[in-house]
């Protein structure tokens, strides 16, 4: 097994005998020469030239060991595909495997020798010395072959000389390879840094001002890799809200999300609607991204006037909607595949979320959810929800900061492996008026004045006022009747909600009394069996859209919350009542 080495030099061949001082000098010269080059091809040329010179050979070649692929590689010349052979095949393979020098005085008499290359090149190999290149850390670097000693065959002296030379060559080659790897790494690092800069530059420089909304977003890049992006900007179509996360490591994800960001903005600038933008960008990404790459992305448009957030999500989750009215989280599912995964010809309808006062819409990337602590636990979605719920009355900027603090504290020194990105959007909470009333029936006129003031202040539908007054009075008189041991004033709060009103009554220093569990009244009973008791709560249950009761043990506080809307009333009037008039005579 042999091949032609680098171009022949017609230099004088030095003849060696014992490993003399002169031999050593020659090797040291070689060592000096080997210290200079930094690129592999030059170094290989130097090594081969040195071997030919020191050993008096006609030709030489070096096979490098590619450990991950288990192959020996012969670099022929820059730009030409190298020759590769399995690391156990032929003479070079045998040498690499045994790590021993192999001296073949007559190649054509040795079964391991492959004469085909001679045939192809027209060169005749007589004798050959094959020696392992092992560096000082005992790592196999490759195999060197020298062919055809000028005046005979290679002898034991040559073997000794070659062994000394091989050690030098191995170290030099290994140095070049490691330097090359370092340079490659540095190039990668610089390229990554540049890609990250480009990625960061596409993020909005600030948050737009959106009437009756508080919007905040954050992006904290991981050290090494990550492909997150977000966008929050006012465009003709509304408030554009984007959170994307590209797969993969290295430079690619940073570049693909940058590409997506640019495509999206362009599509919307050209007047595309949500569906068109989503499909077009998806299909363009499917064309351009490598087959194993895709981007999960949430793309939404909020109309701040109608408070509708229409969105598509290509595999991006969680999409969290905190509903202030019920203090619960709704989770939406993605509407489509990750972007760029495949061509789309049709799309499911977008999700159309109504954002009510006080609602929070939250998007977080994997970097938040998958942040691990020392025990290998992940931060997870529940913790995100806790932070939002517990701080729902604070600014979104503060909530984001608290979320990041919370993730950081959870990690407890564990590294951030992925980009951390989050977008939070909250519709301003409904305005509320609150006042306290002395625990006595005499407070009723003041309460009536208070609800009228609140209705006028918040421009609530005046048709609801008598019903609100009824509810307030019934709940309040109940508290006066059953909370005789308390002297604390009763708090009443009126909040404007979509299409109606929310009432909160807080009764302090009392025993629990869950009005939602009070007995039903039989409204069809004959008059003799009818009693006034329980009627008030019955009426409230009939008129309110919802009634909630909470009791706080520590503060001995009952809190009743109900919502009344015109649409809810109309619906119940239509369904429940048996007719508006029933004059019977």
Contact residues for another protein (CB under 8 A)? Answer: 441-442, 444-445, 448, 463, 466-467, 469-470, 473-474, 477, 521-525, 527-528, 530-532, 535-536, 538-539, 542-543, 569, 573, 576-578, 580-585
Residue 497's φ and ψ, nearest 5 degrees, are -120, 175
Least gap, CB of 461 to another protein (angstroms): 12
Which residue, 200 or 525, has its beta carbon nearer to another protein?
Answer: 525
Which residue, 192 or 470, has its beta carbon nearer to another protein?
Answer: 470
Q: In sequence order, what are the residues at sequence separation of 6 or more whose Cβ sits closer than 8 angstroms to the Cβ of residue 147? A: 2, 57, 58, 59, 60, 125, 126, 127, 128
Q: Give the CB-side neighbour count of residue 521, counting CA atoms within 13 A.
A: 18
Which residue, 432 or 444, has its beta carbon nearer to another protein?
Answer: 444
Which residue, 79 or 532, has its beta carbon nearer to another protein?
Answer: 532
Least gap, CB of 543 to another protein (angstroms): 7
Q: Is 487 left (phi over 0), alpha (psi -120 to 50) or beta?
A: alpha
Q: Which residue has the tokens 């919502």?
A: 563
H or E element, residue 422: strand 420-427
Which residue, 116 or 524, has its beta carbon nearer to another protein?
Answer: 524
Cβ proximity of 48 and 63 under 8 Å = no
- From the list 313, 359, 95, the residue with the least C-alpha distance to 215 is 359
Least gap, CB of 440 to another protein (angstroms): 9
Which residue, 351 or 448, has its beta carbon nearer to another protein?
Answer: 448
Least gap, CB of 487 to another protein (angstroms): 19
Least gap, CB of 299 to another protein (angstroms): 46
Least gap, CB of 403 to another protein (angstroms): 46
H or E element, residue 196: helix 156-201
Going from the C-alpha of 429 to that of each of 96, 360, 402, 432, the distances in angstroms are 75, 10, 20, 9
Which residue, 394 or 573, has its beta carbon nearer to another protein?
Answer: 573
- From the list 95, 189, 102, the residue with the least C-alpha distance to 142 is 95
The three-class DSSP label of residue 559 is: strand
Which residue, 86 or 533, has its beta carbon nearer to another protein?
Answer: 533
Which residue, 419 or 474, has its beta carbon nearer to another protein?
Answer: 474
Least gap, CB of 511 to another protein (angstroms): 21
- From the list 160, 154, 162, 171, the residue with the least C-alpha distance to 131 is 162
Q: In sequence order, what are the residues at sequence separation of 6 or more whose Cβ sits closer than 8 angstroms to the Cβ of residue 457? A: 431, 433
Least gap, CB of 495 to another protein (angstroms): 21
Which residue, 347 or 470, has its beta carbon nearer to another protein?
Answer: 470
Query: Tokens in use for 36?
Result: 């200079």
Cβ proximity of 414 and 374 under 8 Å = yes
Residue 4 to residue 57: CA distance in whole angstroms: 13
For strands 83-86 and 102-104, give the pairing: unpaired
Q: In sequence order, what are the residues at sequence separation of 6 or more whose Cβ sits closer than 8 angstroms to the Cβ of residue 225? A: 192, 248, 249, 250, 253, 418
Least gap, CB of 437 to another protein (angstroms): 12
Least gap, CB of 436 to another protein (angstroms): 18
Least gap, CB of 480 to another protein (angstroms): 8
Is the omega angle on the peptide bond into residue 318 within 30 degrees of 0, that is, cis?
A: yes
Which residue, 349 or 576, has its beta carbon nearer to another protein?
Answer: 576
Which residue, 469 or 548, has its beta carbon nearer to another protein?
Answer: 469
Least gap, CB of 507 to another protein (angstroms): 16
Residue 217's φ and ψ, nearest 5 degrees, are -145, 155
Sign of CA dihedral 5, 8, 11, 12: positive
**Strands in 28-127 per DSSP E:** 57-66, 71-74, 83-86, 102-104
Which residue, 257 or 480, has its beta carbon nearer to another protein?
Answer: 480
Cβ proximity of 496 and 431 under 8 Å = yes
Least gap, CB of 263 to another protein (angstroms): 56
Residue 569 to residue 30: CA distance in whole angstroms: 99
The three-class DSSP label of residue 171 is: helix
């Amino acid at each position: 097994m042999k091949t032609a080495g680098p171009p022949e030099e017609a230099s004088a061949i030095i003849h060696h005998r014992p490993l003399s001082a002169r031999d050593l000098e020659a090797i040291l010269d070689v060592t000096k020469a080997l210290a200079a080059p930094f690129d592999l091809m030059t170094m290989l040329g130097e090594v081969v030239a040195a071997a030919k010179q020191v050993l008096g050979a006609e030709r030489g070649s070096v096979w490098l060991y590619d450990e991950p692929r288990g192959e020996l590689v012969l670099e022929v010349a820059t730009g030409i595909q190298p020759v590769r052979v399995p690391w156990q095949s032929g003479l070079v393979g045998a040498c690499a495997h045994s790590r021993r020098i192999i001296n073949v005085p007559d190649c054509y008499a040795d079964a391991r020798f492959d004469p085909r290359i001679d045939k192809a090149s027209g060169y005749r190999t007589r004798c050959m010395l094959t020696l392992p290149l092992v560096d000082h850390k005992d790592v196999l670097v490759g195999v060197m072959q020298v062919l055809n000693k000028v005046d005979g065959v290679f002898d034991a002296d040559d073997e000794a000389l070659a062994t000394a030379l091989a050690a030098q060559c191995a170290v030099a080659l290994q140095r070049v390879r490691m330097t090359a790897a370092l340079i490659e790494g540095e190039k990668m690092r610089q390229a990554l840094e540049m890609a990250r800069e480009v990625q960061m530059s596409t993020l909005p420089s600030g948050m737009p001002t959106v009437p009756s909304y508080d919007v905040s977003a954050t992006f904290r890049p991981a050290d090494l890799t990550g492909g997150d992006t977000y966008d929050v900007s006012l465009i003709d179509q509304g408030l554009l809200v984007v959170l994307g996360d590209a797969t993969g490591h290295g430079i690619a994800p940073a570049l693909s999300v940058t590409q997506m960001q640019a495509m999206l903005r362009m599509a919307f600038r050209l007047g595309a609607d949500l569906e068109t933008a989503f499909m077009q960008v998806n299909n363009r990404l499917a064309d351009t991204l490598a087959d194993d790459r895709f981007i999960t992305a949430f793309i939404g448009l909020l109309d701040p006037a109608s408070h509708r957030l229409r969105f598509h999500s290509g595999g991006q989750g969680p999409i969290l909607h905190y509903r202030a009215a019920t203090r619960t989280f709704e989770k939406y599912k993605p509407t489509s595949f990750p972007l760029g995964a495949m061509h789309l010809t049709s799309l499911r309808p977008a999700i159309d979320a109504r954002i009510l006062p006080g609602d929070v819409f939250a998007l977080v990337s994997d970097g938040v959810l998958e942040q691990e602590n020392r025990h290998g636990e992940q931060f997870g979605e529940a913790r995100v929800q806790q932070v939002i719920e517990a701080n729902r009355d604070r600014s979104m900027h503060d909530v984001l900061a608290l979320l990041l603090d919370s993730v950081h504290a959870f990690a407890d020194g564990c590294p951030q492996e992925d980009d951390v990105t989050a977008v939070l959007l909250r519709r301003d909470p409904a305005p509320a008026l609150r006042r306290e009333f002395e625990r006595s029936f005499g407070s009723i006129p003041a309460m009536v004045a208070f609800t009228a003031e609140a209705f006028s202040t918040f421009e609530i539908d005046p048709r609801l006022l008598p019903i609100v007054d009824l509810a307030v009075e019934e709940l309040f008189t109940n508290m006066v009747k059953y909370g005789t041991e308390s002297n604390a004033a009763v708090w009443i709060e009126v909040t404007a909600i979509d299409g109606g009103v929310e009432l909160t009554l807080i009764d302090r220093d009392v025993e629990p009394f869950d009005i939602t569990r009070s007995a039903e009244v039989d409204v069809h009973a004959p008059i003799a069996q009818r009693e006034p008791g329980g009627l008030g709560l019955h009426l409230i249950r009939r008129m309110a859209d919802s009634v909630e009761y909470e009791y706080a043990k520590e503060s001995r506080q009952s809190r009743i919350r109900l919502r009344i809307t015109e649409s809810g009333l109309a619906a119940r009037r239509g369904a429940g009542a048996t007719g508006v008039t029933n004059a019977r005579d």
